[in-house]
Amino acid sequence: MNSEAAKTEVKRDSRDAARAGFTLIEVMLVVIILGILATVVVVNFVGKSGEAKDSIARTSIQNICTAVEMYEMQVGHLPTAMSDLTASIGDTPPPLKNGIPKDPWGTDFQYTKKSETSYEVRSAGKDQQMGNDNDLTN
């Protein structure tokens, strides 16, 4: 092989190698695009945890209300306190056999018997303070 042919072969090999890899600009573009996508995903999911906790609290309130109604059907009157729902009624297991749940923020649910026929179950909500606008009730 003569020296001119060898130089042409080396140039062709170096051009093929350059085309086979990514340039710094291409890699930076990919990283920027991935960063934008990650930002969009994070922004869309950040607010969802609060909505999910609200939904969990509402479901728990409904479950407690079901337990209150079961208690009323078995005993004939509304419970006076939430702890009544954890005690066995005769031979039947308690309506809340797993104990009194806490809301998703770690606060106890509040049960209030308002009259002989009405009651309220309340969660303090995300601020964990009872009696304000963000409380969740039945």
Could you tell me the fold of the domain covering 48-137? Glycoprotein, Type 4 Pilin (3.30.700)
3-state secondary structure the chain: CCHHHHHHHHHHHHHHHHHHCCCHHHHHHHHHHHHHHHHHHHHHHHCHHHHHHHHHHHHHHHHHHHHHHHHHHHHCCCCCCHHHHHCCECCECCCCCCCCCECCCCCECEEEECCCCCEEEEECCCCCCCCCCCCEEC
Whether this prediction's pTM lies above 0.75 is answered by: no
pLDDT of residue 111: 92
Average pLDDT over residues 91-96: 85
**Per-residue pLDDT reduced to its tens digit, 42-86:** 777 776 777 788 888 898 999 999 899 988 988 889 999 988 988
Average pLDDT over residues 113-127: 89
